[in-house]
Amino acid sequence: MKTRNVLVGIGLLSVGVWLINLWLYPYGQMNVWNMRNELVFLTGILAYSMMGLIMVLALRPKILEPMFDGLDKMYHLHKWAGIWAIIFAIAHYLIRESKGILLLFFEKGGKKGAGGNIDLPWFFEWLRSFKGDAKDIGEIMVWVLAAVLVITLCRKIPYHIWRYTHKLMGIIFIAIAFHTIVLSPPTFWTQPVGWLFAVITVVGVVASVISLFGWIGKKHQHSGKILNITRHENDLIEIDCELKGEWHHKAGQYAFLNHRYFSGAHPFTISSADCGNDCVRFSIKDLGDGTHRLFTHAKVGDPIRVEGPYGEFIL
């Protein structure tokens, strides 16, 4: 499944539920204020849908690997879904803040028709008492997301800084979920757009909790130690690892290696055959801060943790 197809599909789903809302609760007369209002809704739906997608992909679910031809393709989708989520979030904020400029040229007016309000259970009414807080949180999160986008796209920013910003994505999503639930129009919750929001919120919050507690890939992790190290002249190091528990892999797959010299787990291609002895070899090039520290300081007996195997490119 191609990244573009998934992103287009999410976009069409978002536009579809937005159009259903517009059809169910039409305006008596369309004007610039109503158009602004609907663009705020549309960009918000698009941003939240993309956010839900990136939270699911962040869990590295193995069940989705065959569908996307491997975790590397899922990461590519994760990256672009994140970029588009931030773009839509910024657009959502800018359109929302355009009121002052529009007032210079247009008179205020054009409220939703009579069908635009419904009675909601007490829980939703109680949530709406936090409208001011939700607006403030939403504005803060836009600036945070903009900073995350800059850090992601700027190659000069060190990996460990990028990693820490992404560790915060769980908190960011929960904050955005609060903003979305509190500020969504009451009519949303009786139709597909509200149902979509409910699914995204539940799945996204669960994914956020898993991420914040460091449980991603937990059941696929194996602790172990370095059994042998071979350093080559071309800045290449081969590390043989002995793992606890049953380990099996296929040629062409890769795994995440975590060593104390790394700021988090790094993916490396497995360069050994599966001999059924719960051992795995990684051939690692000295290319960055973490791999350089590994190349110069790693020694036999060092504890390591391996997560995987991943990959659908089977040789």
**pLDDT tens string 214-260:** 888 888 899 999 999 998 888 888 999 999 988 888 888 889 998 88
Residue type, 211: S
> Strand (E) positions, 5-108?
none
Quick one: tokens of 241?
């690892």
Among 75, 83, 42, residue whose Cα is nearest residue 56? 75
Beta carbons of 240 and 306 less than 8 angstroms apart: no
What number of H helices and E strands is found in the chain?
A: 11, 6
Predicted confidence band at 314 (pLDDT cuts at 50, 70, 90)?
Answer: low
CB burial of 2-14 (b: ≥16 within 10 Å; e: otherwise) equals ebeebbeebbeeb
Average pLDDT of span 277-296: 85
What's the CA gap between 37 and 15, in Å, rounded? 15
- Return the half-sphere exposure (C-beta side, CA atoms, 13 A cut-off) of residue 279: 13
17-21, 57-61, 157-161, 285-289: range with lowest mean pLDDT: 157-161
What's the CA gap between 230 and 243, in Å, rounded? 18
* Residue for token pair 């929001």: 197
pLDDT of residue 26: 86
User: What is the radius of gyration, based on Cα positions, of the chain?
Assistant: 24
pLDDT of residue 5: 92
User: pLDDT digit string (tens) for 36-72?
Assistant: 999 999 999 999 999 999 999 999 888 888 888 888 8
Among 151, 172, 5, 173, residue whose Cα is nearest residue 76? 5
pLDDT of residue 113: 45
Residue 90 has pLDDT above 90, yes or no: yes
Beta carbons of 50 and 116 less than 8 angstroms apart: no
What's the CA gap between 32 and 110, in Å, rounded? 8
> Strand (E) positions, 219-262?
221-231, 236-243, 254-258
What's the CA gap between 126 and 120, in Å, rounded? 10
Residue type, 209: V
